[in-house]
Amino acid sequence: MFTPLRFAFACLFSLAVAQAAIAADCAPDARRGAQVFTTECGVCHAVKKDVAGLMGPNLNGVIGRKSGSLAGFSYSPAMRNKDVTWQAETIAELITQPQAYVPGTYMPYMGLASADDRQAVVCFLKSKEAL
């Protein structure tokens, strides 16, 4: 029998398969991620659409965006040449240790040590995908 609930579970399941490293249900993490984002990233990055002028590029809709591609932002050559698409996994890798993932990046951030915090902040960014 088809029920919306089953459909929801099926969707969550396929997400989990596609993104094994990131838990399927982001909802609780997105809320916590908002706090982590504010303390760890918000001083340099905006997520509100069309807000510019901070040290880092706007991260609204960053999921699915090619690295170093936001128009009008002056990226390092390293970031422009990185050639990844920002997904949960690639962002989690970047913020583990930015200088290791993109040697020569202008992102002056030491890294987020806690895997839980990394997941939470990625979930928060995913929740901003379409805003």
- Which residues contact ligand HEC (rule: CB under 6 A)? 40-41, 43-45, 55-57, 59, 62, 65, 67-68, 70, 75-76, 78-79, 86, 91, 94-95, 105-109, 112, 121
Question: CA 72: distance to chain centroid?
Answer: 20
Smallest distance, ligand HEC to C-beta of residue 28, A: 18
- Which C-beta is closer to ligand HEC: that of 23 or that of 44? 44
Do 54 and 35 form a contact (C-beta atoms < 8 A)? no
Do 8 and 92 form a contact (C-beta atoms < 8 A)? no
Q: Which residues make Cβ contacts (< 8 Å) with residue 117, sequence separation at least 6?
A: 36, 40
Do 121 and 33 form a contact (C-beta atoms < 8 A)? yes
CA distance 76 to 80: 6
- Which C-beta is closer to ligand HEC: that of 7 or that of 73? 73
- Which C-beta is closer to ligand HEC: that of 12 or that of 46? 46
Smallest distance, ligand HEC to C-beta of residue 59, A: 6
Smallest distance, ligand HEC to C-beta of residue 51, A: 14
